[in-house]
Amino acid sequence: AQKVTQAQTEISVVEKEDVTLDCVYETRDTTYYLFWYKQPPSGELVFLIRRNSFDEQNEISGRYSWNFQKSTSSFNFTITASQVVDSAVYFCALSEAGRGSTLGRLYFGRGTQLTVWP
């Protein structure tokens, strides 16, 4: 079973629109970590955010915000006033910290290709 599901494979928006990328995860561990990474056309993976399972505060960083909802096992990512430079593939990932889990091993979703048109 997929531990991380990103149901949106592709999203297209026009510059300045807001866009939300969905991420749903599945784990039996009570302690876990959630991540978002960005993969621009150049191909590298850029770390964006890490969220601990015991901290449900939402976070805002500039135009980026993240909504962590334990009740629905979701960790959604919103870009406000999108820009062309936001065009990339965005990956959501899960790391489990329970007994028997490999600490740090990341389970990735399949990614969402975001295209922002000028």
Q: How far apart are CA 84 and CA 86, in angstroms?
A: 5
Answer for the pair 51, 60: CB distance below 8 angstroms, yes or no.
no
Near another protein in 76-95, by CB under 8 A: 91, 95
Is residue 50 near another protein by the rule CB under 8 A? yes
Whole-number minimum distance, CB 43 to another protein, in Å?
Answer: 6
Nearer to another protein, 39 or 80 (CB): 39
Which residue among 1, 28, 41, 44 contacts another protein (CB under 8 A)? 44
Q: Which of 73, 64, 66, 61 is nearest to 29 (CA)?
A: 73
Whole-number minimum distance, CB 79 to another protein, in Å?
Answer: 20
Q: How far apart are CA 24 and CA 88, in angstroms?
A: 20
- Number of CB atoms found within 10 A of residue 97's CB: 16
Answer for the pair 64, 58: CB distance below 8 angstroms, yes or no.
no
Which residue among 19, 23, 34, 35 contacts another protein (CB under 8 A)? 35
Is residue 111 near another protein by the rule CB under 8 A? yes
The site for another protein (CB under 8 A) is made up of 31, 33, 35, 37, 43-47, 50, 52, 91, 95, 97, 102-111
